[in-house]
A and B are shown apart, each in its own frame.
Chain A
Amino acid sequence: MTINPNTWNPTTKQPLSVLKRYLHAACAATALLLATGSFARAADLNALIWCDHADPALLQPFEEANGVKVNVKEFEGTGAGMAIVEQSQPGDWDVMVIDSIDIPRGVEKGLFEPLPEDKLPLADLFPQVKLDNYTVVDGKRYGITEKFGYNTIGYNKTKVDPADMQSLAALTGDKYKGKIAIYDYYLPVIGMAALAIGKKTTELTEADLPAIKQELLSMKANAKLVGEVTASQTALATGEVDILVGGGEWVTAGLAKENPALDFSIPREGAVLWSQSLAMFKDSKNKDTALKFIQYIMSPEGQARLATSACYWGMPANTKAALSDEQKKILRFDEQPDFLARAQPYPAPDADLDKKMQDVWTEMLQAQ
């Protein structure tokens, strides 16, 4: 019997050659994995999203129809989203969900690709939420509003007097002290504080901040907690609090079946209109698929699924969204013209005012 010297024999002690063989095998396997990984990535769509877009009921139909995998990365707040983009390589991301008012920030940073208006259902959108002053920059459309709603007063109508919820003054009075939660996002709640002192959200300046801070501190004095989306939703749903400052249909609609006592009002002073848009990255390697994704989300079917997403409900921007009558009732679809007429847009501060607003918010959080 002869032994082929090139054949590894476990009885021969040649650790170096054994190691080399293992290394070669490992390198080959790694190369194969990388290759298949990169092939897979080429067909994928990478989306920076808010949690409502992570719902499989929303993504699956698009994935199946187009034979692609949508890889999602969730974030909260434009600052966090921009931080992710800054730490990524150009081309890593294809589409992004962003506050409509922040689209100019992304354009200024050179992130976004103009969208073809003729391939989007712009004519079907509620006119008030197109927000062309933010979504169109230098005559080019960089974003399209996909979903909107109100930061206003969410409440449990069995625990509070709904008539009281028609005024923002109820948030700073003594009647509901200790029964209030504040949604922990500075822009909409600062907007509500501005409305409470009779200011327009689009005209805020640094000079308004002391009065806004005072209003926020009065709200905080009545508040049991200041919570993020989940915490504030849970607090209202479990009866920990009866009122959520900054709440709206995004809190109450999704919980309507489990807790029909939850409702929201648009007070006399108004409410803050939130709206989220979709934008495409300039460096996307899958611009065709990215556009298809945006078209799908903006389609009547996509809009209905997005509006009733598991994470949170919200009004679809497309008036033709394929919602059931029951879903429309929960979202108070038919009341939107009145709501929109009384709502004011998110405050859209420049970088300097934004920093000062965040400082005011930090001081409010820290106040005892």
Chain B
Amino acid sequence: MNSATNSGRALPRAGSALPRAGRALPWALVTPALGWTLLFFVLPFVAMGFSSLTAHDGGGFTLANYSQFFTNQAYWQAMVNSLQVTAIVTVISVLLAYPFAWILAEQVPERWQRLALMLAVLPFWTSYVVRSYSWLLVLAQNGVINRALTGSGLFSEPLQLANTRLATVIGFVHFFVMLLTLTIFANLKQLSPSYRKAAADLGAGPVRTFLHVVLPLTLPGIMVGAFLTFVLCIGDYITPQILGGNNELLMPQLVMMQIGRRGDFPLASALSIILMAVVTIAYLACARWLKIERA
């Protein structure tokens, strides 16, 4: 007892200090991030919410900015266009990235994987704007592709590739395939070989093993990558602006038009909140789906 008391002379200080520190430490660690989020996300978001409910030329509360979106076909068509382009880009990117990630993870020898990954993410090293303009040069009437097609005699007239939705999709896919490859590759590498061995032991062939074991287990990686692709793609202004030739408007372009031309921040805020609501719905859909998979 004494000994416990004696040895406890130091302990009460440590014992009483540690729980306090233990309680304070998580808050201390989380405070900077929390402050940052409050200052640079929550407050601007609330300000944007208020702004979206005001009129451009002053006055009080109004829902006119939201009704403008829902009643003007050109406005909601921008959302339809954005969703279509985003869906196409996400699906194509997943379809291209999965086999690529599979080859990297399964076929490329381990010692070459790092180099292969580095080569895969090489396009990220160049500026996004430069990359988009480069694609414009490649797809232009006098660009590499059209010259090859007309030079080889396959086509007599150059195809219109630049300044189209196709050009926008190509620009996006080039970027997002790399992103998806990384997330799927990470998922594939984490997958224990035991699963495949067990499936083989139970008589499953390679295709069945892939469809019923590997694919479901790598679905979280696909969904994370697909969600990131969705979010980044639907909010991107540069690619459609440079490659799309303004032949159709997507939501970010519509938002920029309100700011750049009209200085109409309330309408731009309303459109941004609508865009954010769509992203939130996409997140909820993905989160729910992922949860089911995990269960």
Interface of A with B (CB < 8 Å)? Answer: 76-77, 79-80, 82-83, 86, 178, 184, 186, 223-227, 231, 235, 238-240, 351, 355, 358-359, 362-363, 365-366, 368
Contacts and interface: CB of A to CB of B under 8 A. Distances in A.
Interface-central residue, A223, A238, A239, by most chain B CB under 10 Å: A238
B263 A226 contact: no
A79 B245 contact: no
Nearest to B256: A80
Contacts of A240: 140-142, 162-163
Given A225-B163, A238-B140, A351-B57, A366 B248 contact: yes
Contacts of A362: 72, 74-75, 249, 254, 257
Interface-central residue, A82, A184, A225, by most chain B CB under 10 Å: A225
Interface in B52-88: 57, 72-75, 77-78
A39 B260 CA distance: 32
A80 B260 CA distance: 5
Contacts of A225: 162-163, 245-247
Given A79-B261, A82-B263, A366 B74 contact: yes
Contacts of A86: 263
Q: How large is the interface on B (under 10, 10 to 19, 20 to 34, 35 or more residues)?
A: 20 to 34
Contact of A226 (B72, B140, B246, B261): B246
Nearest to B141: A240
Contact of A186 (B141, B249, B259, B261): B261
A231 B133 CA distance: 10
A363 B73 CA distance: 8
Contacts of B262: 79, 355, 358
Contacts of B265: 83
Interface string B232-268: 0000000000100111110000100101111111000
B110 to A, nearest CB: 45
A23 to B, nearest CB: 18
B245 A224 contact: yes
25 contacts: A77-B260, A79-B260, A79-B261, A79-B264, A80-B259, A82-B263, A83-B260, A184-B246, A223-B247, A226-B246, A231-B246, A238-B141, A238-B142, A239-B142, A240-B140, A240-B142, A240-B163, A351-B57, A358-B262, A365-B74, A365-B249, A366-B73, A366-B78, A366-B249, A368-B247
B72 A359 contact: yes
B259 A83 contact: yes
Given A178-B160, A225-B245, A225-B247, 20 more contacts: A76-B260, A77-B260, A79-B259, A83-B260, A83-B263, A83-B265, A184-B246, A224-B160, A224-B245, A227-B245, A239-B141, A240-B142, A240-B162, A240-B163, A358-B261, A362-B75, A362-B254, A365-B249, A366-B73, A366-B74
A239 B75 CA distance: 32
A268 to B, nearest CB: 29
Nearest to B72: A359
Contacts of B248: 365-366, 368
Contacts of B247: 223, 225-226, 365, 368
A363 B257 CA distance: 13
A83 B262 CA distance: 8
Interface string B123-151: 00000000000000000111000000000
A81 to B, nearest CB: 8
B270 to A, nearest CB: 15
Nearest to B242: A231
A355 B57 CA distance: 11
B249 A224 contact: no
B277 to A, nearest CB: 21
